[in-house]
Amino acid sequence: MKTKKRTRKAQSCLFAIALISIAATLAAKAAPPYLNARITPRPITANDVTIYNLPASTEYSGGLSTIGIGTPAYLELDVTNTVPLQYITNVTWSLTGPFGSVATFTNSPLPNNMPVFLPSDRLVYQVASRVLLRPDVAGQFTVTAAIASTNGVTNVSANLTVGTFYGVAGCELCHSGGTQAPDLYHPWLTTAHSGIFTGGIDGLDGSHYSVSCIKCHTVGYDTNAVTFPDNGFYSVAQQDGWTFPTNLVSSNFADMPANLQNLANVQCENCHGPGSEHMALLGDTNSPNWPSLDVPATVGTCVQCHDAPPQHADGTQWYASSHAVTTTIPSGSGRQYCVRCHTEGGFIAVVSNTVAGNGIVYSSNTVYNAIGCQTCHEPHGLTTPTNDSHLIRYVSAVTFGDGTVITNGGEGQLCMECHHSRNGSAVTNVLDYQAGLATWAGGSSSFGPHDGPQGDMIEAINGITYGKVMPSSAHRYTVTNSCVGCHMQTVASTDPGFLLSGGHTFEMSYKSVSNGLTNKVDRVDICNQCHGEITTFNFPVEDYDGNGVIQGVQTEVQNLLNQLSTLLPNSKGVIDGTVKTSLSVTTNWTTGQLNAAYNWQFVNNDGSLGVHNAPYATGLLKASIADLTGVSVAGGLPDAWVIANFGSLTNTLGAPNADPAGDGIPNWLKYSLGLNPLTPGLAVPNGVVYANGTQIGGNSSTNTLEIYTAADVTFDTVAGTTYQIQEVSSLSDGWQNVGNPIVATNNASVSYLTPTVGNVQQFFRVVQTP
């Protein structure tokens, strides 16, 4: 047994003494800390070497627990980040190895400022201690860390399986068909991995190919293999005396020794680790002694090669994606319905069963792992359709929550497997919620669409339509591969947004710092193909919110969201007219309020503020506003009032600014004062008076004259200039036109009287146009 004590170093001795003293003082009072400790091999990528200034000779690692003899295992002890590290006073590492091993721990070359590997794990874990291990013989190694804290000692262990490489010929023995194992060999032959070295060394991939490429394009390339023979590519090349060819010609691969060809290209043991122990146990991955082969469930196996920008940047881009930081909350016991989209294993289980024709079968494995490379890509080549160059795991028809089957999304249909509302149809959701019935998979009852209903929005389905035909954008037909076409657009390595947007970041914007200011830059390159030279998603399209001003589409949608929210109850169930950023829906809301709330959540949760489908998003919001207010024409007056006075909503005499009585008072003002729009009033200086038989504020029977609070807007004009008076009750709302535009015929002052009765506050402005 080899033992090595590792004490965490503080920034200074004095600081360390102070922490230990504080911890000792608190020991008697504090509860034992829940460490949630684990030992894990940390992956190391090319980009890690650059970012953390590691030596250029640092060997990359996939973070596997099955490794070759002499391969570095960058071991780290992680503990929950909810416990201050000063609780840990000492960490003692110990090692149990196979017979004949003299391996020991050495200091880890990884710096203190290097965090745990996965961005999602950084939300949970922090590094408490690190060591480096190079195993020297084949077999099982057990690593243990004894964590001494102010409340006792906690032990945590991990196993490493160490072996030698056999190459693809060894794997082919069982995995090429037959009854003993699934055929993974022949699908693998269709992948780019299977020929990446062959094409490179034969000059088929250009003249850039060099010896520096083959550490990722061969199996077991480890320069330590001279000291620790592992039968990997480097070790065998040294034995055979093979060197990288001077000229890249088509005969190079064929001229290589057969045993070296067997270890070339990216193959099984690159991702699963050396297969000697697996073959010794006749392929038993459930051995009572130890698993003989790694089945990785992390991106480490991929990013050890694909985190090397600018050429190999897919993994680097993924780090900047929201997929990389999905939280652990939707996993664990009882979460089998959540893990289908919130963890890699759950998603693979559902998709695999779908491919097999078993329908949706939820995973019983609720252990968390991030949405990573293998979530979307099937590395063995078992893709649908087959021979997909991107190894996309599954592209087929997607059935949405309301039963709609989507077939026009191309590669984006893989995204839509999760990015749609999975809570049934909108109408059923509202009805079941009112009745206290289950609305979500698993039997729970909660209101509204699930987070991320982007698929429904793009396809213009599953909103509350009030029986109307909603308009839709052409994005669902014109954008090749739907989601993928925009969110994974190619970004040049010279672009400031490279590694921050497009590609596997899936981000459509990025933050740019200039002159000390941080600005959001929209990735509109793909939009320019159809929309011209725009610079932002928030470009003007039309006046969706009916305020008389064409603003950016995202502003228009936000205005409609704000308007609708003012018509819905607050957290106390009171309609207070305030703008809301979230809704506190309860079962005692009216059906109309629930319908409107569903549409508000649908558009809000989509997250694009209309970019995905502005006509559909605004159509749902306007229809909701109309249903709650009785106003179905944007910027119009209540339907009942218009129909009662003008017979039809299409009658232009019923427009808000129309003056059918010819007395200079528009319909909107007469409606607000409760006047008949068809009865002219008596014009007097600076206004109009209605009396004697014409209703004034509901007291016409008494012939009482009532004075209404009003604002006199006076401003100077210049001949030939057009002016528009606008009002707003809150500066956070959109401005509304008051009356018709005023064309000045001479240089004079204009006075305009407008009512303010019932308004707590009102702001006015005058907009000038040439």
**pLDDT of 745 strictly over 80:** no
Check residue 422 and give its pLDDT. Answer: 84
Confidence at 2, pLDDT banded by 50, 70, 90: very low
Residue scoring higher pLDDT (284 or 54): 54
Average the pLDDT over 465-479 and give the result. Answer: 92
Judged by average pLDDT, the poorest of 276-285, 351-360, 389-398 is: 351-360
Most confident of 18-22, 124-128, 717-721: 124-128
**Range of weakest confidence among 13-17, 310-314, 724-728:** 13-17
pLDDT of residue 113: 94
pLDDT of residue 275: 93
Residue 134's Cα: distance from chain center in Å?
Answer: 38
Q: State the Rg of the chain over Cα.
A: 34
The pLDDT confidence band at residue 759, using thresholds 50, 70 and 90, is low
Q: Is residue 337's pLDDT more than 60?
A: yes
Tell me, which fold does domain 2-163 have in CATH?
Immunoglobulin-like (2.60.40)
- Return the top range by mean pLDDT from 35-44, 348-357, 517-526: 35-44
Confidence tier at 683 by pLDDT (50, 70, 90)? low
The confidence band for 707, taking pLDDT boundaries of 50, 70 and 90, is: very low
Q: In terms of pLDDT, which residue wins out, 380 or 639?
A: 380
Lowest mean pLDDT among 326-330, 419-423, 577-581: 326-330
Q: What is the pLDDT of residues 258-311, one digit of tens each?
A: 999 999 999 999 999 999 999 988 887 777 767 778 888 789 999 999 999 999
pLDDT recorded at residue 757: 55
pLDDT at 689: 58
Q: Indicate if the pLDDT at residue 191 is higher than 90.
A: yes
Q: 161, 292 in Cβ contact below 8 A?
A: yes
Domain range annotation of the chain: 2-163, 168-273, 657-769
Q: Is the peptide bond before 310 cis (omega within 30 degrees of 0)?
A: yes
Mean pLDDT computed over every residue of the chain: 86
At residue 760, the pLDDT reads: 64
Lowest average pLDDT, out of 415-424, 593-602, 755-764, goes to 755-764
Q: How many CA atoms lie within 13 A of 544 on its CB side?
A: 30
Length of the chain: 770
- Average pLDDT score over residue span 532-561: 92
What's the CA gap between 400 and 424, in Å, rounded?
8
* Tokens found for residue 608: 């694009």
pLDDT of residue 33: 54
pLDDT beyond 60 at 696: no
Over residues 654-667, the mean pLDDT reads 85
Degrees to nearest 5, angle at CA 185 with 179 and 190: 140
Rounded distance, CA 611 to CA 681, Å? 47
What integer is the mean pLDDT of 231-250? 94
Residue of 297, 293, 300, 287 lying closest to 273 (CA atoms): 293
Mean pLDDT over 211-229 rounds to 86
Rounded Cα–Cα distance for residues 162 and 228 (Å): 12
Quick one: pLDDT at residue 694? 44
pLDDT of residue 433: 94
pLDDT digits (tens, 9 = 90+) for 622-638: 999 999 998 877 678 88
**8 A C-beta contact, residue 611 and residue 553:** yes
Q: Quick check: 564 pLDDT over 80? A: yes
What percent of the chain clears pLDDT 70, i.e. is strictly above it? 88
Q: Lowest-confidence range among 18-22, 242-246, 360-364?
A: 18-22
Q: Is the pLDDT score of 93 beyond 80?
A: yes
DSSP 285-335: TT-SS--SS----STHHHHHHH-BTTTB-HHHHHHTSGGGG--STT-STT-
Say whether pLDDT at 553 is over 90.
yes
Q: For position 667, what pLDDT does the model report?
A: 84
- Asked if pLDDT for residue 414 goes beyond 70, the answer is yes
